[in-house]
Structures are given as C-alpha cells and as structure tokens.
Structure 1
Amino acid sequence: MTKLAMILGTAAAASLFFAADASAQKERPEGPIAKEDMLEKVRERFEGMDANADGFIGSDEVGEGRRARFAQRMIEAQDKNEDGFVSLEEMLAAAEARFDRADADGDGILTEEEREAMRGDKPRRRGRRG
C-alpha cells in the first residue's frame, strides 16, 4: 500500500493521486526532477504494485481499510476507460499530465519551487496519520 500511496501521492499532490507514510516520505527526491526520471519511477512502482502481474492495478491489490478506500478513489480517478482497473498507460498519462501542469517553464525539469507550487505551498506531512 505504501507503494500505491507514493505513486498516487505524487499525483494527489497536484490534483488527486496521496497519503504517504514515513517510509514513503524518505523516497521523495530532493532537488530538480526530470520528467523521464519521474516516469521511470512510476513504471517501477506500478510493477511493484501489480501483485498478480496482469498489467493492471485493481482494488484487490491495494489492501484493506482506510488507505484502501483512499486508493480505490485514486484508482477510479485514473481509470479513464472505466474498466475498474488502472493500466500502466493510464497511470503514466496521469503522472505526465500532472508533471506538465507543474512544469511552469516547460523545460522537462521540476524544480523545488515548481514542486512547492504544485503542492499549493502545503508543508509536507511527516510521519503517519491514522
């Protein structure tokens, strides 16, 4: 579930895609982020989340409880073809769209300032909630 939180978390920061825990916070890179690097991380995390290796992430792969309910809302938001699953292509498209909205100068690199603006100047949460 932490992996889902990270993938969606990056996404939710701008519009929808997260609730990350302390271990996921440690994975957040500091400094500038290139679009290609971000998309590669999304691919890696998708593969880690796709428990049955069928090429899709469904609600059966996100665990139980409060985080699972949140993850289900994120799946629904990213599920553009409304089949109940998120494909790698859907996840990449959502991540790329968020990146492009945040990349104010269009150079393919997110600076720390652009990332802060994307988060709406909200401070990062440290530790776990709930």
Structure 2
Amino acid sequence: MSLRVSSSFAALVLAATALGTVPVLAKPMSGAAAIKAIDTDNDGTIDLKEVQAVAAQTFARLEKDADGTLDAKELKGRLSKAGLKDADPDNDGTVDQKEYLAAVEARFKAADPDGDGTLDAKELKSPAGKALLALIK
C-alpha cells in the first residue's frame, strides 16, 4: 500500500513539474534553494509575482476547514499573535487570501532593502527574508 501511495505521489510531483506549477516549500531552506524552487523565470532572483504564486498555494494548502480564511491554528505559527493582528484589518481573528497575500507583500518589501522589486539569495538570508520564507513554506 505504501508503495502505491509513494508511486502516486511521485506521479503527482512529475505531473505538477510538467505543468509548470510552482512548488510548495515544505521546510525551511537556504536562500539559494528557495530561489531555485520559486524562480519560475530562471533569472536568479524572485519577484513578488513568483512569491505570491507560492503564497496562494500555501494559503490553499493550509485552509483546511473550507471557510476561506486562516485562523491561528491553520497558520501553524507562520504569523505571531501581533503579526496576525497586523494582517487582519477587519479584526475577525482570521486572514482571508487577500489579507494573507498583503502580509506576504509586506514581508517581501521588508526583505527588499534595495527596492529593486526582486530578492536574491543574500536578501533571503536576512531576518526579513527568513520571515518571508516562513510565511510561504
């Protein structure tokens, strides 16, 4: 049975790769590994569009109860209590996809000190870069 599951999983990964879908980051990784995983245009950097594509997949994967929002439990520590409050302008204790992507964008901008609209491996190694990666893993 486990071999069948493994084969199915491998087929799913191969199909996703063939379709060009953005991979989901499963665990913390180095800046260079994150670039390799997220950089769909292969320019050696990641831009906000590439990051938001991964973030949208992360949101969908985390959103288990089909209510269209993520609560603290579903976020699994990706946002602190203060971070959740900042990302939740309507103060309902959850973030919808729009709010989640806004939080991702804020972290992206914080990780982009030169303001060029892209992040390289060095920028992803910074505390702000690591915070961004933690949100989209």
Range into which the TM-score falls when normalised by the shorter chain = 0.5 to 0.7
Corresponding residue for residue 125 of structure 2: 116
* 1:120/1:101 CA distance change after superposition, 3 Å: closer
After superposition, where does 1:10-89 map in structure 2 within 5 Å?
23-26=26-29, 29-30=34-35, 32-59=45-72, 61=74, 73=81, 74-89=83-98
User: Which residues of structure 1 form unaligned runs of 5+?
Assistant: 1-22, 123-130
Which one is further off, 102-111 or 45-54? 102-111
Percent identity, please.
30
**How many residues matched?**
94
User: Structure 2: any 5+ residue segments left out of the alignment?
Assistant: 1-25, 36-43, 131-137
- What is the TM-score with the length of structure 1 in the denominator? 0.57
Runs of 4+ in 1 over 4 A off after TM superposition: none
Q: Distance in 1 between matches of 2:65 and 2:105?
A: 25
Whole-angstrom CA distance in 1 between matches of 2:128 and 2:116 = 20
C-alpha distance 56-113 of structure 1, shift in aligned 2 (>3 A): same
Secondary structure of 2:66's partner? coil
Give the Cα–Cα distance (whole angstroms) in 2 for the partners of residues 53 and 115 of structure 1: 32
Report the structure number with the largest CA radius of gyration: 2
Q: CA contact under 8 A between 2:47 and 2:118: conserved in structure 1?
A: yes
Distance 1:98 1:120 in 2: 7
